[in-house]
Structure 1
Amino acid sequence: MWTLKSYNCEHCGSDFISGRALRYHFQQKHLGKVHREKYDQEVLSGKQQGHSESPRDRSTMETQKLHWENLEERNVNYMATKISKTCRMCSRCFGTVLSRENHEIQEHHFTARKRAQMSAGFSPHNMLECKGPQELRRYADRKICPASGSQRAACAAEIGALLQLIQTSFPVPASRVIQGGSYVKGTDTQGCSEIDIVLFSEVFADVNHFKKQLREGLETLRESLMRTAYGNRILMGKRTPLSLRFSFLCTESLHSHSCEIMAYYDILGPTPSTDLKLHLYRKLHLCKDGDEAQLCALALLQYQVDFVKASVVRVKELIRLMIHWLKTSFASPTEENKFRRLPSSYTVELLTIYIWEQAEKPLSFSLVQGMRAVLKLLVQYAAIDVVWHRHYHRTFPIFVKVNQKRTRPFILDPVNPTVNVCDTCNAWDEVAHVAKLSLRKPLFSGVRAEPPWLFTDAW
């Protein structure tokens, strides 16, 4: 799991993701031009922060021939992790996106032609091949929209039973449980259902021992779940220090849910005061321990869920289409670019909501027009600059400081003024390239902006 530790320049106040990036910045900006030879020596001597993923343990499920897809790598939606400044080929960290991009060109020969070859990977019978809104509607009903009616009810019952089992199997008492993810927010698709579960317990209030207790608690839960009647329907993911990840097969509708369980103590409580929330923001802003910041931000999960759930049904349908586009339009990473990170589902949700708000929040609209608007904005991703002020005031000092330093693309988490959710992606240029190719597909052939999407003509 990626961390958030930052290094601050005492001369200008800029923040960097690594000490090496800070040294380079200091030498370049405050001591003059950096000699290439010296820089190379520092890079070679610095510890590289690689995050290569090992294959998932799937032996149990393969023997039972359940034919599940690979456990999808979970982008952590609670906190952005400044992946945007890491090389997609070697994961080396830099102080700015520009320096990272220069490194990719010089060291890895990542030219525009190479980017084009490695980015697009439209799946066969992609929805972009649909000709018109009616064909798109039929495609969405058949392949994108989740089950409804009795199937949805049966699925909800199984998820409820699993949640109850998790609570009873967790070795420490939970004072409160919060659920998040696309399944809870109502933006899940047939092949992409995420469920995040946060268990709050006072046991973890002791900061000196919580990491050890958390590790032991999650490991105990892991073993307990595998011994239950649900064990043969659970595919465990790679062990991580702060969470338990697995896929759960729902027998009624024969699809799986990607689950992630985390735990911490309840910093805010169910009805926090404004002062308590502002105190948490300050703590997150000043926190130098990435793990602690990750866990503290769990207290904001419910507000993230509420923000997305408040959208009208039509917006959630558009979100599903855009998430499906994200999952089916890009080439899979190869060994060469295995550190590439695309935007998280949460980022796509927020961007779609923003586009809808720019159209003055229509209750009903053309999904083709909505998709076209989102894709056109992605083409010019450097212009994305989105901020909401429902949870913090414009004059709040932390927001002012973050706002002054922001880079593009910029989507400030609507419930956390310390996080740019776009920082979970280091391939925005690839996103723009695939979005441009998508707009040339049959679905958008001859389509022009109509009210209330006329503002997209300026793009």
Structure 2
Amino acid sequence: MSMVKFYSCGRCGDDFASPSALRYHFRAKHLGKIYCDKCGSEVSRNNLKQHEKVDHGAATAKTKHFWWNNPSRRETCFVALEICVTCRMCHRPFGTIHSREQHEKQDHHFTASKRAQMSTEFSPESIVEYRSPKQLQEFVETKLRPIPGLLRISCMAETDAVIDLIKECFPLPVTRLIKGGSYIKGIDAQDWSDIDILLFSDAFASTEDCRERLTQALDEMAGRLKKSSWANRILMEKNTPFSVRFQFKCYKDLHSHSFDIMPCYDALGPVPSEGLKRHLFHTLNHCRNRDHLQLYSMSLLQYQVEFVKSCTVGVKDLIRLVKHWLRTSFAKSTKENKFRRLPSSYALELISIYVWQLAGKPIFFSLLQGLRAVLKLLVRYSEICIVWYDHYGPNFQTFKKASHSQRRPFILDPANPIFNVCENSNAWDEVAHVAKQSLLKPLFNGVPAKEPWLYTNIWSDMQHQDADKPPRHNPQ
């Protein structure tokens, strides 16, 4: 872990070795400039009106912001983009996080006290009031882990039957199928589970052809599911632009699974070469069509699943705990902040895996220590920079472009070198606040870091901007 102190520019995030270098940079690059609220670029204060007139005509602005002005569509994206720069109160889009935060403070009076009031609400099911590691372990074993035995076997049989039904109801021949979601990764809980099904078909000649035929295929599949013999156990939801969604009542109606069915053109095939994967990464990097970008990204689902699925049982229990903490520690969104978006489940999964890897990948470990490490890292969200090299290397040009991004938090998808999984949230400051409040609760009161979690000692809960930065993770 690096002990070198850097001085970060508050405007662009660039790091400098000395205060004098930072001052020179600020005078040369930022002095006399302000942010444009529409595109986030820095322009001279005197030239702002001219910039808006030339670069932000009505037609251009309409085209630029169409995608993210549509909340319902944005929530259905397989790969989220730029959501972190939308206001959580009015959903107005901004070019930078800084300009969005300034708008929230000035126009909505979103002060620190208001943020605390609107973010924190520990429910009766919260585990932060527990007082011992033993209680936490018992909670995971009895309340979070799926119940083994006959119930689990019956559940597996019924989900397999539903997947066979999906293949029958899809109007095009299915050549390959990929399964994902918490159920397949092995991180589902007793009261929540989701299953993603990716259907590949040779009937799609290309990604462009898939997009053109997708809506009709989804409508036909949804119609057939409604008429199937299982219809009384399937609660259909509204189709998204890329998928059919429904809730399935499982074994004896004791629980349900949330299914997300996504047809796609098979851009990689069952055994892709390194060259083919690099070609897909190159295509993703240069793709400017939002819909096509989603469909290309779907092809990487299997690698996302494998990355999480390969973890140990203890890590999967830690992931369940972190997700339970998220579900039971935050206040519900209101009309005032209805556009607030907390981090995705996938982002929390990757953060949990990251702290475990920093600890040296122990097979057996204290869940209390693991959860404490996750919360302490969330407090320092503005310094998070996590990268894995499982499917791309540091010299890969697409990876370089993404990793040089100054946005924080930054967690690069292990399977996709253009996707920062943190960009689907605009409420990381709320996450940090609730994490800090959680660390003050009885569960963590007076609990020191123990081996192999001693690295968390350098993560100060207060004034984290002056502390040493967590290292970029590189397993190689």
Question: Would you say same fold, with TM above 0.5?
Answer: yes
Q: Is the 8 A contact 2:79 2:294 kept in 1?
A: yes
How big is the shift at 1:253? 6.0
How big is the shift at 1:170? 0.3
Is 1:340 matched up with 2:354? no
SS in 2 for 1:257: strand
Q: Give the partner amino acid of 1:240.
A: T
- CA separation of 1:31 and 1:269: change in aligned 2, threshold 3 A: farther
How big is the shift at 1:439? 0.7
- CA separation of 1:128 and 1:118: change in aligned 2, threshold 3 A: same
How big is the shift at 1:228? 1.5
How big is the shift at 1:24? 4.0
SS in 2 for 1:204: coil
Report the equivalent of 1:7.
none
Supply the distance in 2 between the matched residues of 1:455 and 1:234 (Cα, whole angstroms). Answer: 48
Supply the distance in 1 between the matched residues of 2:321 and 2:178 (Cα, whole angstroms). Answer: 26
Report the equivalent of 1:293.
293
Q: Is the 8 A contact 1:205 1:264 kept in 2?
A: no
SS in 2 for 1:184: helix
Is 1:439 matched up with 2:439? yes
Report the equivalent of 1:399.
399
Report the equivalent of 1:50.
69
* Counterparts of residues 37-116 of structure 1 (less than 5 Å): 46-47=61-62, 49-53=68-72, 78-116=78-116
Q: Is the 8 A contact 1:155 1:252 kept in 2?
A: no
Report the equivalent of 2:204.
204
Report the equivalent of 2:43.
29
Report the equivalent of 2:315.
315
SS in 1 for 2:392: coil
SS in 1 for 2:252: coil
SS in 2 for 1:258: strand
- CA separation of 1:427 and 1:82: change in aligned 2, threshold 3 A: same
Q: Is the 8 A contact 1:204 1:214 kept in 2?
A: no
- CA separation of 1:281 and 1:217: change in aligned 2, threshold 3 A: same
How big is the shift at 1:353? 0.4
Q: Give the partner amino acid of 2:323.
A: I
Is 1:367 matched up with 2:381? no
Q: Give the partner amino acid of 2:261.
A: I
Supply the distance in 2 between the matched residues of 1:446 and 1:353 (Cα, whole angstroms). Answer: 25
| C-alpha RMSD of matched pairs (Å) | 2.4
- CA separation of 1:184 and 1:75: change in aligned 2, threshold 3 A: farther
Mean Cα deviation higher: 268-277 or 126-135: 126-135
Supply the distance in 2 between the matched residues of 1:349 and 1:75 (Cα, whole angstroms). Answer: 19
* Counterparts of residues 241-280 of structure 1 (less than 5 Å): 241-252=241-252, 254-280=254-280
How big is the shift at 1:51? 3.5
Supply the distance in 2 between the matched residues of 1:99 and 1:402 (Cα, whole angstroms). Answer: 21
Mean Cα deviation higher: 126-135 or 204-213: 204-213
| Structure having greater relative contact order (Cα 8 Å, sep ≥ 6) | 1
Q: Is the 8 A contact 2:38 2:93 kept in 1?
A: no
Q: Name the count of aligned residue pairs.
A: 419
Report the equivalent of 1:191.
191
1:234-290 deviation line (CA, Å, top 9, x unaligned):
222222111111111113361111111111111100110101000000111111111
Q: Is the 8 A contact 1:50 1:90 kept in 2?
A: no
- CA separation of 1:244 and 1:30: change in aligned 2, threshold 3 A: farther
SS in 2 for 1:405: coil
Structure 1: runs of 5 or more not aligned: 1-19, 55-72
How big is the shift at 1:191? 2.3
Q: Give the partner amino acid of 1:113.
A: S
How big is the shift at 1:139? 2.1
The structure that has the greater radius of gyration is: 2
Q: Is the 8 A contact 1:268 1:299 kept in 2?
A: yes
How big is the shift at 1:140? 2.2
Report the equivalent of 1:144.
144
SS in 2 for 1:417: coil
- CA separation of 1:21 and 1:416: change in aligned 2, threshold 3 A: farther
Is 1:353 matched up with 2:353? yes
Q: Is the 8 A contact 2:76 2:241 kept in 1?
A: no
Supply the distance in 1 between the matched residues of 2:69 and 2:105 (Cα, whole angstroms). Answer: 19
SS in 2 for 1:342: coil
Identity of paired residues, percent?
50
Supply the distance in 1 between the matched residues of 2:146 and 2:170 (Cα, whole angstroms). Answer: 30
Q: Is the 8 A contact 1:204 1:265 kept in 2?
A: yes
1:362-412 deviation line (CA, Å, top 9, x unaligned):
000000000000000000101111000111111001111111224110100
Q: Is the 8 A contact 2:89 2:336 kept in 1?
A: yes
Q: TM-score, normalised by structure 2?
A: 0.83
1:165-198 deviation line (CA, Å, top 9, x unaligned):
0001100001100000111000111222111000
